[in-house]
Amino acid sequence: MAKAGWAGKMHVNLRVVTIWLALGLVCLAGVFGILRFAEQERARDLRVWQDRLRIVVESRSVAVNDWVDSQYGVLQELANNAALQIYLMGLTGPKDAGANPSILNAQREYLYNLLVTTAARAGFGAEPLGADVAANVRRVGLTGLALLGPSNELLVATPDMPPLEGRFAEALARTPLGERGFLDLYRDPAGEPALGFIVPIFAVQGDRIASQQVGRVLGVREAGRPIAALLTQPGINEKSLESLLVRVEGATVEYLSHLRDGAAPLQKRLALDTPELADAALLGAPGGFVTGRDYRDVPVLATSRALAVLPWTLITKVDRAEALAGSEARRKRLVGGFLFGMTFLAVAFVAVWWHGSSRRAEAAAAKYRKLAERFERQKDFLRLVTDSQSDALYLVDSEHRYRFTNQMAARAAGITPEDTIGKTLASVLGPAAAQRLETLNCEALRSGKVVTAIHRQGKEGEEKGRRVFESIHVPLAGVGEMGGGVLIAEKDLTAIILATERHERTLRQLVAALVALVDRRDPYAAHHSERVAEVSRAIAGEMGLEAELVETAETAGKLMNLGKILVPEELLTRQGPLAESDKKLVQESLQASADLLEGIAFAGPVTATLRQLQEHWDGSGAPSGLAGEDILLTACIVAVANAFVAMVSPRAYRDGIGFDETIENLRRGEGTLFDRRVVVALVNHLENRGGRERWRSFAELSGLSG
């Protein structure tokens, strides 16, 4: 009996030990599972924050890059101004003994007014430092615009432009000829961050190469407030989320923008080897995502992008405690709840097991509920950012199905953003539009590069129904769990294109009206301008010139006789040869044509072409004695066309001559009066392109033929 009782007790103890061992294993497994689950939750939150920070840093980097490009754009607009280029060449070129000082002063005054107006409009002006007192004390200039000569000598500047010495001279010397440059961010005498931009100015109609540079335009502006505004992301609720600009300065990280701890731009520097400094790590690997410590020595999550133009890095970060507060709270709740449950396991195995099962089921349900809530918050955040954009933005996967659509893109498709999700491009946009976009998407995915394309709808020349779009296709390595995808941004360029076309139509109508006015006053030379324009266009086309130069030659041909409205009508209709004084008056009308058209915004150098019509290839012409390649090619073309039409056409005091004799006369002028290339092109058009037959009517009034 004793043996049987001992055996029974051993059996019971063994059973208890087995139960407790099982409970211990369950406890260990539960703790391990909870910790692993919490780690997975934390990893998911990190991926979510990586996507969120990537969206913000991309948005802010685009804003900063666009702002920098707009500053260069202001200076480039000045550099492309034909009047500025001509006047600048006049101020820097060799001075003739008979040069009129009043003309040079007028040109300098024009350039000064142009710089002052542009500075006030584009933000390159700031109140100088110091009181404005009636004493011989110059106030310290902070910002402004300046025109520089070939040797960086100052020609014209706004009143408050700082002296071009020190860092300004170094930046100019460091910038290669023919290229843009910049003066990196510095603190001006007022203690504000300032930034300088340098753009080359090329000779009129010269190639954009170093040898054609005639000067530079330098712009200096304050950058603190504009940059602070660009770094602010709308729709962000996290208090610790911050975007900032940094650069490498020696062995330090220099902070270029206002910081959350109150530091002003360019006020704080930290060593690159500061332990765990996230900003230093991101400088070495732009585009990465790191967890480390920021300039306050606070743990953060951060990502970065390198700017396209300036040697800066844009960093977007958020405090790790705020970003992962939800994960930490969930982990603590799960661990506490499990330990509380294990206390009940010690009371009764079955009760504890039941309780544990309930807790696991509840935890699983909470997990999926929180996942759903988190993805919903991520979608709302993305929509908040993209719906504030004026462009249509949508995300498609590698099978061309919508994964995200902003409000502008959905409105263009005529449906709600929610209705696009999961649908194909063809089902929403139609087969034709879908095929165009799918082809561009495939190209972007295949090359791994951004693809840009222009799409036009409607008939050319008609405004009603015309639409012009630019689409940008950005390949993405992964979109959630669906693999590769493409972000598409569509910009409506219709208003810009139509405005340009309306301007061109108005200019053509103006040219036609001016030509008709000249023809009415000089009936014996009626249609001369139109014929010169026709021949000029044919020669330019024969030489294979670009469209803008072809249009310039044709327009200059039409307007070359505009100055005749200043010549007495009785002189234009006089029978017989003209006196030398009368001939001189008629010849000077060519320069008058250029004077009358000065300031009209032609697409090409029409006014400059008219001014050079009387220049000769050997330098014996007027008014400037230009020679060879210094004469605009369009002026050489119109000069040959004018001589050709003048010789074959009858006049009030003579008959025209035949084509063969005209060609011989032009040949004799090669290398002296005319550019040989232009004469050869005209002859080739006459002989091989049907020019003789088409222009035979030029001589019909006198009964001549070619």
- pTM, two decimal places: 0.46
Q: How far is CA 57 from the centre of its chain?
A: 19
- pLDDT tens-place string over residues 58-91: 999 999 999 999 999 999 999 999 889 888 888 8
More reliable by pLDDT, 529 or 641: 641
**In 3D, which of 638, 552, 536, 627 has the Cα closest to residue 597?**
552
More reliable by pLDDT, 489 or 345: 489
- In the structure, what pLDDT confidence band is assigned to residue 666 with cuts at 50, 70 and 90? very high
- Is residue 706's pLDDT more than 50? no
More reliable by pLDDT, 124 or 354: 124
Residues 6+ apart with CB under 8 A from 532: 557, 558, 560, 638, 641, 642, 645
**φ, ψ of residue 462 in degrees (nearest 5):** -110, 135
Ramachandran quadrant class, 527 (left: phi over 0; alpha: psi -120 to 50; beta: rest): left
pLDDT averaged over every residue in the chain: 81
- In the structure, what pLDDT confidence band is assigned to residue 638 with cuts at 50, 70 and 90? very high
Classify burial at 1, counting beta carbons within 10 Å of its beta carbon; exposed 0-12, middle 13-18, buried 19 or more: exposed
Token representation of residue 317: 């970060």
For 241-314, where are the alpha helices, taking DSSP H only? 278-284
Residues 6+ apart with CB under 8 A from 3: none
pLDDT given for residue 560 in this prediction: 84
pLDDT given for residue 691 in this prediction: 92
More reliable by pLDDT, 117 or 36: 117
Adjacency order of strands within the sheet including 144-148 = 154-157, 144-148, 213-222, 193-202, 181-187
- pLDDT tens-place string over residues 387-430: 667 688 888 888 888 888 888 877 877 888 888 888 888 888 88
- Is residue 237's pLDDT more than 70? yes
More reliable by pLDDT, 229 or 656: 229
- Cα separation, 92 vs 447, whole angstroms: 48
- Is residue 703's pLDDT more than 60? no
- pLDDT tens-place string over residues 114-150: 999 999 999 897 666 554 444 444 567 789 999 999 9
What does R_g of the chain's alpha carbons equal in angstroms?
A: 38
Which of 32-41, 229-238, 572-581 is predicted least confidently?
572-581
- Cα separation, 293 vs 364, whole angstroms: 34
Q: Are 233 and 55 in contact (CB under 8 A)?
A: no
Report in angstroms the alpha-carbon separations of 357 from 36, 362, 592: 18, 9, 99
- Is residue 704's pLDDT more than 50? no
- In the structure, what pLDDT confidence band is assigned to residue 155 with cuts at 50, 70 and 90? very high
- Is residue 705's pLDDT more than 50? no
pLDDT given for residue 490 in this prediction: 82
In angstroms, the first-to-last Cα distance of the chain is: 145
Angle between helices 2-79 and 101-122 (to 10 degrees): 160
- In the structure, what pLDDT confidence band is assigned to residue 7 with cuts at 50, 70 and 90? low
Which of 99-113, 632-646, 668-682 is predicted least confidently?
99-113
pLDDT given for residue 142 in this prediction: 87
Which whole number is the average pLDDT over 269-291? 91
Residues 6+ apart with CB under 8 A from 135: none
pLDDT given for residue 282 in this prediction: 92
Which of 244-248, 518-522, 605-609 is predicted least confidently?
518-522
- Is residue 548's pLDDT more than 50? yes
